[in-house]
Structure 1
Amino acid sequence: MNQERLMTVLVAPIVSEKATMVAEKNEQVAFRVLQDATKDEIKAAVELLFKVKVESVQVLNQKGKQKRFGRFNGRRRNVRKAYVSLMPGQEINFAEAI
């Protein structure tokens, strides 16, 4: 796989209450990823950037909500999320990764 592509696959880690509970319970980490990213690309990108072993990747597409902005109807953008399961004993520390 192309190194430049792998560097852009992960958009941002998801830091929320749900993502924190999932991380503690199932040893998974949540990321926002590109819309056209595949599971193999996500796995390779996490292993390359964070130097950890990935067990599996689960991907979901979240549709953007319809919202009103003043008097105009609008739509939030669609989001693709990846829940990455790490091998036992592996851990991602975002403070050291930067």
Structure 2
Amino acid sequence: MEKKSPHILNASSNLLGFCLLIITSLKISKISGSTYVDDIAAVASLSLVVSCFLSFLAIRTENDVLEKKYEKYGDYLFLFALVCISCTVIFVSLNLIK
């Protein structure tokens, strides 16, 4: 089975930048106080940070049991963050933020 940790680390760090861009643009436009979109993006950002950390630990550890555990939890957090980002994009694209 191919190791997913390097892919998770790469994708998580890139999506983390996207989440920070969303949060920053909402703060600049002063919409952040009246919507939950920035809160959802913040939860996604924190999930991606932890996913990056767990993926890094999975790459660096020499213990096979810990490696699989870190990779599994990092993968689940990445999926959760992806769902949060998808919700954020849907809210913004359908103009559901007011």
The answer to which structure, 1 or 2, has the higher relative contact order (CA under 8 A, 6+ apart) is 2
Question: What TM-score, normalized by structure 1, do the two folds share?
Answer: 0.28
Question: What TM-score, normalized by structure 2, do the two folds share?
Answer: 0.28
Quick check: which one's helix share is greater?
A: 2
Quick check: which one's strand share is greater?
A: 1
